[in-house]
Structure 1
């Protein structure tokens, strides 16, 4: 069975210089190895079963994931999510990333392209890769966190714009509120568990992470927590905007219904009167009087004015 074709494969020296390698190449003792794969590669599953424990291979090949960190004797299984910054994609449609981390290697598996990981690959190609798996993990989490913060800030700015628009009585922002709220909820769904995963990663018990990297990860966890709070605040603000829009719509509908009801109350007796005099039967008064129509018109006008005056007096208009 042929080996999978990696998206990237490097042996990285402690000084950050990296050399692209073939999967069959023997690992150097002074380097650590990073191999990056596409989950859709048909040969990946067979290759992984020869490289890692079956339970670890299963975690790396999982179709559906949520952010988590699990410690094994040999290393860490880490599953993270990043915002989707691919062309024509929704940022909140987060991209999953699976990692197997040991003191000497990192295996990463992705389903879709992830910009934070691409940035690390470009660093390796330039000879400025992270010096160790711990540094790689810290840089990756920082990149994911930064991009999530950027998207969260964009959502906040969109909420600000919707708040201003909601003050304009001529604009109905219900559809925009609903769409943005759904986007925030989708992003919040994975950012919350990711905060917990990064917090657990910062307390690594396997000894892979040094104190400096643990401190960086704790700071990333704190930033992720602030992002979660910002997303919750944006969601709550959107709910308040929607309530304001709904209240304004209900008030407008009520006012229009009230005006129509008053008009109906004024014209109902007039309609009855004109309908009564419009019947074509014998004995109708005024059929022979030349001023009968004028008198009926004057009477109807007087009744309408009287009803209007009564409504104004009662405060109904």
Structure 2
């Protein structure tokens, strides 16, 4: 599941911009540097500017407000750490916050990475704090001449790649559950299994908690997007929504499977403990009368019968053997053994 960090060489030499492209309307695009982004206007019909920014850079909010004339509350939303998925329309502008799986080293599937998005149809601005591979997928398509042709298609491509990448985490969890279901729990140590199953269940709950609002955000884009978001874009994002819904259903199934495995494992552990307790109770019940007899004959007072007899010991042994045999027979008859 691990992937390389997003390349940041552009950001190191080009201000807050990680990369930028000018879409040519035919599936391709040409690179653009940070200086040329300032005051950019389409050189020919159909061109769309896309810039991907590091939102923690100190100049980003000021640039959003001054260059793009974005209202201050919206600019703060685009650069803040409020990462709950949402989307809304402001006139001809679309604003969204989306989340993707965190594939950075050391991250867990439930650690989600946010991406903020702003577009007025002629310009698309995406922002992130941590590395996110989704924009690079779309960038690769553009550089190969097979990318989106307009702003609506670009938004659709980004959301589609983001949702598709969730499939890897879900498939990994399902594979792990399948392996656990094939194990013989009687031959496995319960503690490591409990930790694995609990971790999978926690991942399912976290993904469901994050992906549920994302489903609502994508529906808002499909329903309320501006006019530059064309009919084919709405149809494609509807397919992405349907795919996300299937992923949510898969997460529900994985969550239920993990609950079943936990119940089975705990049930087996409880049954094993009960069997052990039962056997100890049987052993105690068998030796209780024998211990009583030997304890009674062991008291050191005068008048104890058989003290001077040579066969008294063997008589007591025979009596204990008879009591033991009678107990075993009765326990077997009562189906306690």
Q: TM-score, normalised by structure 1?
A: 0.93
Q: CA deviation at 1:125?
A: 4.6
Mapping for residues 132-151 of structure 1, pairs under 5 Å: 132-151=150-169
Q: CA deviation at 1:298?
A: 1.8
Name the structure 2 match of 1:91: 109
SS of corresponding position for 2:250: helix
Separation (CA, whole Å) in 2 of partners of 1:34 and 1:231: 33
Mapping for residues 164-203 of structure 1, pairs under 5 Å: 164-165=182-183, 167-171=184-188, 172=190, 173-203=193-223
Matched, 1:54 2:75: no
Mapping for residues 54-73 of structure 1, pairs under 5 Å: 54-73=72-91
Confirm or deny: 8 A CA contact 2:15 2:34 kept in the other structure.
no
SS of corresponding position for 2:17: coil
Match of 1:34 among 27, 50, 56: 50
Match of 1:230 among 247, 250, 274: 250
Moved more, 20-29 or 185-194: 20-29
Name the structure 2 match of 1:82: 100
Q: 1:137 to 1:208 in 2, by over 3 A?
A: same
Mapping for residues 211-250 of structure 1, pairs under 5 Å: 211-250=231-270
Question: Aligned pairs, how many?
Answer: 314
Unaligned runs of at least 5 residues, structure 2: 1-13
Name the structure 1 match of 2:230: 210
Confirm or deny: 8 A CA contact 1:18 1:127 kept in the other structure.
no
Match of 1:9 among 7, 20, 24: 20
Name the structure 2 match of 1:299: 319
Separation (CA, whole Å) in 2 of partners of 1:187 and 1:111: 20
SS of corresponding position for 1:224: helix
For residues 21-72 of structure 1, the C-alpha deviation after alignment (integer angstroms, 9 at most, x for no partner) is 2245431323221121122212222222223211210210121221111000
Confirm or deny: 8 A CA contact 2:286 2:327 kept in the other structure.
yes
Name the structure 2 match of 1:21: 33
Confirm or deny: 8 A CA contact 1:68 1:78 kept in the other structure.
yes
Q: CA deviation at 1:17?
A: 2.1
Separation (CA, whole Å) in 2 of partners of 1:162 and 1:76: 44
Q: TM-score, normalised by structure 2?
A: 0.88
Unaligned runs of at least 5 residues, structure 1: none
Q: CA deviation at 1:4?
A: 4.5
Separation (CA, whole Å) in 1 of partners of 2:268 and 2:287: 29
Separation (CA, whole Å) in 1 of partners of 2:144 and 2:334: 83
Confirm or deny: 8 A CA contact 2:98 2:115 kept in the other structure.
yes
Confirm or deny: 8 A CA contact 1:12 1:19 kept in the other structure.
no
Separation (CA, whole Å) in 2 of partners of 1:37 and 1:10: 12
Q: CA deviation at 1:302?
A: 1.4
Name the structure 1 match of 2:138: 120
Separation (CA, whole Å) in 1 of partners of 2:145 and 2:34: 18
Q: 1:211 to 1:134 in 2, by over 3 A?
A: same
Name the structure 1 match of 2:7: none
Confirm or deny: 8 A CA contact 1:11 1:27 kept in the other structure.
no
Confirm or deny: 8 A CA contact 1:138 1:217 kept in the other structure.
yes
